[in-house]
Structure formats: structure tokens, C-alpha cells
Amino acid sequence: MNILRGGVQEFFGLDIGTTALRVVELRSNAGVSSLLRYAYVPIDNKLALSDAPGDQQKVAQAIQQLIADAKITTKNVAVGLPSQRVFTAVVDIERLSNDELAKTIKFQADSLIPTPLDESKMDWSMIGDSPVDKTKVEVLLSSVANEFVEKRLDMLESIGLNVIAFEPDTFAITRALLAKDAAISTGATMVLDVGHKATDIIININGAPRLTRSIPTGSEAIIRSAMQNLNIDEAQAQQFVMKFGVSKEKLEGQILRAISATIDILTSEIEKSLKFFQTRYPSNKLDQIIVTGGASVIPEFPLFLANKFGINVEIGNAWRNVAYPRDRQNELLAISNQFGAAVGLAERVES
């Protein structure tokens, strides 16, 4: 969803998350991205999700303040789109020239995206050969309601920003968390991002998404089940879940029991995605799950997944493709789990 292509040298990535606003600016030199600036500020989660003009104005003011505090001077910005608001899919399309492909996709849009084409912005990119039909290619599609992007655009332009691109958070997170040389591997990697209200599952081959799923269960639901089942308040539930996680031993496994029904929703969705993936791509083995967001800060959750699925589980590092001074390592790794989208947006290479 590039609004303006080419020519833009300086820009920053902006993640308007449910719980925080985050910005990252990188400098790219000879293929190496170095950290210039980053910043974040928590926001009330009701604000970010609200379409009310007054709330949007408050978000705009908070973004403006954050940019000033971070000392970002460029007005060019690449902005994330939350998975709940964007449709993404991998579809098989006849093997055609790029021009013909563009026409065909547009022509078939009604059957490809869930909303009418004239009410949506649609974007696509060719991934490669379809694994199920030799006459077809795989295309990664995304679409978003005009109404949503136009509101976002107005909000950002009201504080003088120039939006150079909108990109689904899931794609940005994938760019940040996967190794740049992922393109030479035949294996597949799942990225699992447990957000505040939703969890995203993205399975990638050669660094490109092949399966994306968003489920409306996130860290908020996990905390809520702890509150209800242990009869404690939110602050306490937050503290318990972040301290004891899904351990069977700590507190005699009380936390795990309290949140297990919610954890099961996530694991059964991971299982379904795995099955779907293996049916469509029988020759690509899923050999790694990279966790981020709430998934990487709930103690023992990565281990729990590794045991359950017999797959290597790694905690994602949002800065893995970014160069930065050694003495900033601790500070950057401490926020890595919530910075995937902002870093990935800043790593975009404009075409």
C-alpha cells in the first residue's frame, strides 16, 4: 500500500499499538541498517482502538509529542496496520505477465478480498510458484477499508506527517524478526505475536508469509482469565502471570490452571495453522517458531510450545537486522518483544 513510491530517502517507522506508540528511525548504508533513534510512550488502550474524532486527536497529539521527544526531524513515515483491520491472504493466480497479473487480480478482487474493491485499498506481491498447481503462481494479497486508512491518513497529516506507506503489522514484524538470509533456507518459520487483544500467526518460507491468521485472543484475555479464576484484581493478575507464567511448579501450577483454557485457544489455533500449512506445503518442514509480544514475556510459554509441538522455539529479537552500539544492547533487548512492528516498518526498502 505504497502511496508514494521511490525517491524517499529518510523516513521513520510508526507503530500505533494498542498499549503504546512506538517510533524507529534507521540509517541504511551499503545494505546495513543502523539505529538512529527510537522512542515509545504507553497509551490508554481505549484511545488507540477508538474511531471517535476526539480520541483520534489525542492519539495525534501523543504521536507529535513522541516524535519531538525522539528528535525525529523527517516528516516521512511508514505506518503499520493492525491485523484486526487488514485482510491478508495467499492466493493462487494464473501464471501471467506482471501487467496481466495486475489486471486479473483487479478483475477477481470481489472473490479475493472480503470488501468491495471500490471501498478498499488492495495491494499484492508475487511470491513464487504455487505448491498445488503448476500453472499458477502464489500472490500475497492485502486489503484494508478505505475508511480506516483515510482516517489514519487525515490524523497523521493533521500533525504534518507525510505517509509514504501503510503496511500490515504482520509483514513488518516478519521482516524484523526473520534473519535477512532467511531467503536461502528451505525450512519454514512461524512467527507468533501475542498482542494485547489479538494473536497473529504468520508462517513463512524464504522470508515470505505463506499463511497468516489473526485470532481475537491476546494477553488481555490471558490476564482476564487469571483475574476471574483466581478472584484477584487486574494488577495482581498481571503480576502473577508475568512472574509465574505457565510453570507447572511455581505456585503449584495455579496460574497455569487459571489461564489454561485461554492458552488452549492459542495452541489449538497454532495446531490448525500447522496442519493447514503442512497440507499445502508438504515439502517444507516447519522447523522454528519465533515468539514475540506477550508470548515472549510470559515465563515458560516458549518452552511450553516447544514441548507441545516438538519444534524449536526461539524468542524473537526485533533488532536482529539492525546495527547499534554495544552499550545499548540491554536497553534495546528489554523492549524487543514490543518493537517488531516499528523496527520492521523502519527496515522497509522502498521500491
Ligand X SMILES: Nc1ncnc2c1ncn2[C@@H]1O[C@H](COP(=O)(O)OP(=O)(O)O)[C@@H](O)[C@H]1O
Residue ranges in contact with ligand X by CB under 6 A: 17-20, 82, 194-198, 218-219, 293-294, 297, 337-338
Least distance CB 78 / Mg ion (angstroms): 15
DSSP class of residue 283 equals T
Least distance CB 233 / Mg ion (angstroms): 25
Q: Which residue has the cell 506482471?
A: 98
The entry of Mg ion, ligand X, none that residue 19 binds, CB within 5 to 8 Å by partner kind:
ligand X
- For residue 228, what is its C-alpha cell? 476471574
Count CB neighbours of 82 within 10 A.
Answer: 23
Alpha helical stretches, state H, 50-204: 53-70, 98-107, 109-112, 146-157, 169-177
Angle at which helices 219-230 and 254-280 pack, to 10 degrees? 150
Of 345, 234, 340, 226, which is closest to residue 291 (Cα–Cα)?
Answer: 340
17 part of the interface to Mg ion, by CB under 5 A: yes
Angle at which helices 219-230 and 234-244 pack, to 10 degrees? 110
231-234 own/partner pairs: CB under 8 Å, 24+ apart:
none
Of 172 and 205, the one with the shorter C-beta distance to ligand X is 172
Residues 330-349 that bind Mg ion (CB under 5 A): 341
Of 11 and 301, the one with the shorter C-beta distance to ligand X is 301
Of 82 and 209, the one with the shorter C-beta distance to ligand X is 82
Of 8, 10, 344, which is closest to residue 180 (Cα–Cα)?
Answer: 344
218 part of the interface to Mg ion, by CB under 5 A: no
Least distance CB 285 / ligand X (angstroms): 29
Least distance CB 18 / Mg ion (angstroms): 7
Residue number with the shortest CB distance to ligand X?
A: 195
The entry of Mg ion, ligand X, none that residue 348 binds, CB within 5 to 8 Å by partner kind:
none
Least distance CB 316 / Mg ion (angstroms): 13
Of 168 and 293, the one with the shorter C-beta distance to ligand X is 293
Q: Which residues bind Mg ion (CB under 5 A)?
A: 17, 341
